[in-house]
Amino acid sequence: FVDQDYDPGGKGYHALQSRIAIGSGELLGKGLYGGTQSQLKFLPEGHTDFVFAVFAEEWGFMGVLVLLALFVGLIWLSLEIASKAKDQLGALLAAGIVAMLCFCVVVNIGMTAGMFPIVGIPLPLVSYGGSATIMTMAALGLLLNVKRKRLSLFY
């Protein structure tokens, strides 16, 4: 985890290829399906856990800024829903969903950038996956329910 470049067992291969993919995207990226690390299969599991590295390689730094702005907007709106909830249960539920989303985003981006150890946490709403996608959609549905209860006249 500390220095994957000098691992004699090759356990740092994913992290090294991920950092290469992120760095090779430069400012504007290589274009859709133009990334060498992802398209030539140097970066394994590019559609699930390492989708941020693929995105950074193909869309570049500007695309990453747009993606991060979208996540910040989602988290901001979720915090607004939590702060304006009618009851304490809704507020705590919305705050927990915000914490889950923040945790998943920070850990996945930190993992692909080499700041955190590699774990199997996908990037919410971007990674291909089964159970994590279902849980994210269910959490966002609960969040929208908290907002709906705030706006409705009758329970």
SS3 call for 107 = helix
Cα separation, 104 vs 96, whole angstroms: 12
- For residue 100, the model assigns a pLDDT of 95
What residue type is assigned to position 2 of the chain? V
When divided into structural domains, the chain yields a total of 1
The mean pLDDT of 124-146, rounded to a whole number, is 90
Of 94, 91, 92, 116, which is closest to residue 104 (Cα–Cα)?
116
Model's pTM, two decimal places?
Answer: 0.83
- Is pLDDT larger for residue 4 or for residue 145? 145
Return the C-alpha torsion angle 7, 13, 14, 18, nearest 10.
Answer: 100
| Residue 104 domain boundaries | 4-151
E-strand stretches of 32-110: none
Q: Which of 130, 147, 129 is nearest to 86 (CA)?
A: 147
